Structure 1
């Protein structure tokens, strides 16, 4: 499918409308997607056939000191991801502390259990095993 004969003119007109803040067919975002929508051309017209117009568009955005909407979205996403990383780091630190405490508790209980088993194994143990009670639901 060949491009329309007025495709370049439509793209330039769309660029003018977007930069003037008067888009008619798009949201006016400073993106190639919005420019293609505003010009009524497929996006690949800008990414494959008219690279010079795409580059001109981004150069003008940069000249005006404006940040493309895609970059604004990405910057917001970066901030959010950094916040999530901080939260994850705090949680990981807390989990590491919890593991240390649990390891100490297991070691202490293992030591106490060993001492009680040794005391029970002595000829006259100070610790006596209590008789087990049958479970109420298991009585015949």
Structure 2
């Protein structure tokens, strides 16, 4: 047997053991790394020389309705950023609404301020004195101590 043929046979046997749930030399994960460890071949044997066996392994994993462990891990890692992006999108929408409300309030305050300044400028020459009202004298008033 040539080394390549022996490798292919070991890879196929390792595939059967991993998919059968009886790994001997690996952790049994549905990954190329575990398959290479199970077959006791270098990983590049699957990534460079026997790419058809790598594809066959992934096809068998997908046919079982399972996803490879590395895909599970990546999906789990992507879940958190997606949640954060969703929260960020909600916050951005709220901030945009807040900005519009604040711009409207600022515009209204500016218009009212201009109106008040104009009214103040129009009254600058007018001074009107209010009549003084007599103050009622109270015997207990501290300001008038002699009037008891």
Q: TM-score by structure 2 length? A: 0.66
- Provide, for residues 49-68 of structure 1, a one-character-per-residue CA deviation record: whole Å limited to 9, x for no partner: 01121122122223323222
- Partner SS for 2:87: helix
Instruction: Give unmatched runs, 5+ long, in structure 1.
Output: 127-140
Q: Which has the higher mean CA deviation after the structures are superposed, 93-102 or 39-48?
A: 39-48
2:49 is the alignment partner of 1:27: no
Equivalent residue, structure 2, for 1:45: 45
Equivalent residue, structure 2, for 1:106: 106
CA RMSD of aligned residues (A): 2.7
Q: TM-score by structure 1 length? A: 0.69
Could you tell me whether the CA contact under 8 Å between 1:119 and 1:125 is conserved in 2? no
Runs of 4+ displaced beyond 6 Å: none
Instruction: Give unmatched runs, 5+ long, in structure 2.
Output: 127-148
- Partner SS for 1:6: helix
- 1:124-135 matched pairs, under 5 angstroms: 124=124
Equivalent residue, structure 2, for 1:6: 6
